[in-house]
Amino acid sequence: MTENGTSTADWHVGTQIPELHVTPDKYLTVRYAGASGDFNPIHIDEEFAKAVGLPGRILHGLWSMAQVARAHTEAAGGPEHLKRLSVQFRGMGVPEQEVVVTGTVAEVDGARVVVDTVAEQSGQQIVRNAQAELEL
C-alpha cells in the first residue's frame, strides 16, 4: 500500500493517475531563475522574449518537468516511489495559464509501474512522451 492509501492492486494498465492542475503566477519565472540559476532572458525579460519572437516570457522546461514529477509522486504517495523519469520538451509554457499533467499506466510488473504522461497548457503539449517508472 502506498502512503496515499492506494494499493498496488489499484494500478492497472489503462488506469489514469489523478490530474495535476497548476497555474504558474506571473512572477514564477523570476523566482525559478533565482532557484535554478537559469537567468536566460527568455524566462525573465518580457521585452527580450518578444524581441526574439516569443509570445512573452516562457516557463523553464525544468519547472514543467518538475510538475510531471510532482504528479507522479503525489499519485504514488511520495518522492521515494519515483525511480525514473524521462521527458521531451515539445512546446513553450507561459505564466498565468493553467498547466495540466495527465498520465496513464502503460505497464505493471509487480510493484513496478510505468506511466506515460503529458503536460499541456491551453491545449498544447509542453511536455510529451514523458514516462515515469514508479515502485509502489
List the domains of the chain with CATH numbers.
Answer: 8-24+59-135 (3.10.129.10)
Instruction: Determine whether 19 is exposed, middle or buried from the number of CB atoms within 10 Å of its CB (0-12, 13-18, 19+).
Output: exposed
What angle do helix axes 28-36 and 61-76 make, rounded to 10 degrees?
A: 90
Q: Is the pLDDT of residue 1 over 50?
A: no
pLDDT tens profile 27-83: 999 999 999 999 999 999 999 999 999 999 999 999 999 999 999 999 999 999 999
Q: Of 21, 30, 25, 62, nearest to 49 (Cα)?
A: 30
Average pLDDT, the chain: 95
